[in-house]
Structure 1
């Protein structure tokens, strides 16, 4: 039974870096559900490495910092896939090359680049592809984080950047509602094991702590996030719009867990 009703639908997936990526797992779940998955990566080198993961699926190259590349991507994809039923935005970038800095010392260029790539790219992509999206059942999902209000020093300025992404979801949903029924939502996972997260200073310690804060004492898996994204791409989720779906295994209600408070050595 085709419960998700994704058979024959075409979904554009941005952001595969390797087999640990949320975008990779999402593409696999969508393909298993019968969807045609079209991948977009940021460079020819990435295209070559991702080819080994996704077989014959189409892979396009687009550096979202450049509007002309987004426009060319739209034209190239339109020639092969005139209608899209979904877009998955799993793109984020932060330049931590300066090392850990207090938030008030965030370098302006790093912050603005992170906003451009991690947030504004969603707006630019949706605007470019607006005529191709299924106006009745189209769906857009972006990958955010479970909370942007937890001031984790090592995550730094990326939390405000993700907050801007979350707000953009709401404004895109409102804006597109003037001419379509395209839905916009964010999937907001707790800490994950991804290659991108490995670049965050001190991430492993935060990940292990977050795992113990979940109700099940087991971290959220990338596959669980991908399953949620696939559901949002499906017409079965038609009543969900302008929302952020938190996937954190109950972590947000469990910070005062007795086991955490009385950990050995605390």
Structure 2
């Protein structure tokens, strides 16, 4: 029996085979979960369908995370088809390219609002709907990065958004804890995804981690998938409001 046997797990943000969400989905599937994918819009639909088909017995739903109406419709449909969910993975973030390429001081007002809305507030929005379906308790996890704690070149407004996301994790954990719902974040080390291509000098960041991290290596999607499966499972029932670093120990190092 797997860690997530017969548990209904919603994964929001499975974009392609290089995404962290896909690594989590693969491990969750191997651990026996019934998976439910969401995709943002028509551009992501084909990829989501192909990935769902690869795992088999995985339904997909469209949801524009910036629309409260679509979020409401999504969870109403999930409630009708599944009744109860046991876990939710929030793997959604976005910032405008120019706000990542330019110095942070030139971040636009609209770009700042966009990054915070999509990358941080969306967790609050989906948690509010998910809690009503977690009638047996549950686990919500999101993805962050050390750029929330330290200045990382090229991360810019996304670092500010991730800091807001991590604070949201703590406040949500306090609100939802009495209902038996845990909320945690995984702070992933740098990993090659399509989103990472938007970060200036990303390859040099990878090289530094591999050289300086205590384990002298980077991380992969399997590392993150196993950590997510643990946090989604009953084995982590005493853990909430935490930011768990999965980065080969890089976060503990000074110079």
TM-score, normalised via structure 1 length: 0.90
Any stretches of 5+ residues in structure 2 without a counterpart?
none
Question: Paired residue for 1:230?
Answer: 229
- State yes or no: 1:43 paired with 2:41: yes
The answer to which structure has the higher helix fraction is 2
1:146-173 Cα deviation digits (max 9, x unpaired) = 3522212311111111010000001001
In the alignment of these two chains, the number of paired residues is: 252
Contact 1:41/1:61, CA 8 A, preserved across alignment: yes
The DSSP-based 3-state class of the residue aligned with 1:112 is helix
Question: Paired residue for 1:129?
Answer: 130
Question: Paired residue for 2:219?
Answer: 220
- Tell me, in whole angstroms, the C-alpha distance in 2 between the residues paired with 1:254 and 1:130: 37
Question: Paired residue for 2:17?
Answer: 19
1:254 to partner: Cα distance: 3.3
Alignment of 1:83-94 (within 5 A): 83-94=84-95
Is the deviation greater in 146-155 or in 235-244? 146-155
Any stretches of 5+ residues in structure 1 without a counterpart?
257-266
1:172-192 Cα deviation digits (max 9, x unpaired) = 0111134x0100000111111
1:85-139 Cα deviation digits (max 9, x unpaired) = 0000000101113662222221111111011111100100011222101443x00
Q: Larger Rg: 1 or 2?
A: 1
TM-score, normalised via structure 2 length: 0.94
Contact 1:147/1:188, CA 8 A, preserved across alignment: no
Contact 2:41/2:64, CA 8 A, preserved across alignment: yes
User: What is the RMSD computed on CA atoms of the aligned residues?
Assistant: 1.5
The DSSP-based 3-state class of the residue aligned with 2:38 is strand
Contact 1:141/1:233, CA 8 A, preserved across alignment: yes
- Tell me, in whole angstroms, the C-alpha distance in 2 between the residues paired with 1:146 and 1:201: 16
Alignment of 1:73-222 (within 5 A): 73-97=74-98, 100-136=101-137, 138-178=138-178, 180-222=179-221
- Tell me, in whole angstroms, the C-alpha distance in 2 between the residues paired with 1:98 and 1:74: 32
